[in-house]
Amino acid sequence: MQRLTCPARPDWRGRLSSMGMTWFDATPEHPVPYWTETAAYAFTSAQIRTLQAASQELTDLVLAATGHAIEHRRLTELGIPVWLHDAVQASWERDDPSVYLRLDLAYSGEGQPKLLEVNGQTPTSLIEAAICQWHWLEDQQACGALAPDLSQWNTIHEGLGEQWQHLVGAHGLQHVTFSSARNDEDYATVTYLRDLAQAAGAATSQLFAEDLGTSPDHAHLLDGWSLPIRNLMWLWPLEFAWESRDAPVLATTQTRFIEPLWKAVSSSKGLLALLHELSPGHELLLPATLNPGTLEIPGVLKPLFSREGQNVTLPGQPSTPGEYGDLSCVEQAYTALPEFMAEDGTARYPVLGVWVAGSEVCGLGIREGRGRVTDNRASFIPHFT
């Protein structure tokens, strides 16, 4: 595993924009460029095979631990409100289908990767992983900057397409409403997913999350025309939703969610502790506990629900800032991320995001932090093998 430099493509900003990605430059909210154009990580074929096998095993473990948490009524430990428990269980027992998730791994290219987190309900960095980095590789090969026989672990686009076909064919999905927050990345992500669903044969519509409606006279959530929503692909964190005014509707609505309500379990970082409890000593897992202070080795404190590295406490360090400081935490054994030097002489710390379509691993995207906690300054960087 190496970090290598590459020439920038002519009009690379235009290339990214044409694929629906417009958030590549630095902004006040993201103070460094998000897209890394002139560097990439190179893997050997053996390293990719290790990642593929390990990630598939981890996916199986995550699904088994999710079932355990639901069937043994351990949802309170994971921070899921009691009034939602029955709806989560019903979603699991109905086998409500999932489209995707992302596993975040620490891996240096040697030994086995270690699971850091599971992004079960609203994983992002999807367009850049599925589309943009693939075209980056093809462009670099076309101009002679990279050898024509190089490849990339990336069948994300194909895997997601096949999963939508499965939802249409095996689950009888006919119409899906797509919804997100009103920002460029989330809107582009659900638009991309909508395109895949339409290609699979589903009818679709789209609206912003703030425009979703509820009514005591209707069993479903409502769209902007007050029509019932049968299936909702909702890029909106469930922990945001259950703090809203209309939260009780989540437990009673007949609208079916994609990602399903049972994904509240795999969205909780408390699942890391259950994974360790169910498979102690597993070479792909880090020891973790829902009782912070009981690990016998240095640990990292993480709120049960948090985003962009907020309120994370590394051993001997103050907590990172954020909005989740009042939540219960899981403590996970500390593992060092690999460190690489960038062209400007500063360190970079990559986290490997492995994408899963349904329950099958299908590709890799990498975010590279400026510190040992992957936060909103982390950039996306392509890879090849």
How far apart CA 214 and CA 4 sit, in angstroms, is 52
Q: Regarding predicted confidence, which is higher, 245 or 384?
A: 384
345 pLDDT above the threshold of 90:
yes
Q: What is the pLDDT of residue 376?
A: 83
282 pLDDT above the threshold of 90:
yes
Structure tokens at 216: 């005591």
Q: What is the pLDDT of residue 29?
A: 78
Strand 299-303 versus strand 100-106 pairing type: unpaired
Q: Tens digit of pLDDT for each residue in 217-247?
A: 999 999 988 999 999 999 999 999 998 888 9
**Torsion angle defined by CA atoms of residues 129, 130, 135 and 138, in that order, rounded to the nearest 10 degrees:** 100
Please give the DSSP secondary-structure letter assigned to residue 317.
Answer: S
What distance lies between CA 306 and its chain's CA centroid?
12
Q: What is the pLDDT of residue 287?
A: 98
**Where do the domains of the chain lie?**
16-269+337-384
pLDDT level of residue 377 (50, 70, 90 thresholds): confident
Q: What is the pLDDT of residue 125?
A: 95
204 pLDDT above the threshold of 90:
yes
193 pLDDT above the threshold of 90:
yes
pLDDT level of residue 41 (50, 70, 90 thresholds): very high
Q: What is the pLDDT of residue 268?
A: 97
Mean pLDDT over residues 268-285, rounded?
98
Q: Which of 107, 122, 1, 102 is nearest to 354 (CA)?
A: 102
28 pLDDT above the threshold of 90:
no
Q: What is the pLDDT of residue 20?
A: 95
Determine the Cα angle at 83 with ends 80 and 89, to 5°: 70
Q: What is the pLDDT of residue 222?
A: 96
Q: What is the pLDDT of residue 245?
A: 85
Residue tagged 């992002």 (tokens)? 124
Count CB atoms within 10 A of the CB of residue 221.
Answer: 23
31 pLDDT above the threshold of 90:
no
Mean pLDDT over residues 96-121, rounded?
97
Mean of the per-residue pLDDT values of the chain: 96
How far apart CA 117 and CA 103 sit, in angstroms, is 6
Mean pLDDT over residues 109-117, rounded?
98
Q: What is the pLDDT of residue 368?
A: 97
36 pLDDT above the threshold of 90:
yes
Mean pLDDT over residues 132-141, rounded?
98
Determine the Cα angle at 270 with ends 358 and 291, to 5°: 160
Residues contacting 219, CB < 8 A, separation 6+: 228, 253, 254
Q: Tens digit of pLDDT for each residue in 320-341?
A: 999 999 999 999 999 999 999 9
Strand 39-42 versus strand 383-384 pairing type: parallel
pTM: 0.97
What is the share, in percent, of the chain residues with pLDDT greater than 90? 95
Supply the DSSP string of 243-293, one letter for each residue. Answer: TSTTTTHHHH--PEEES-TTHHHHHSTTHHHHHHHHSTT-TT---EESSTT
Determine the Cα angle at 276 with ends 273 and 282, to 5°: 155
Mean pLDDT over residues 19-30, rounded?
91
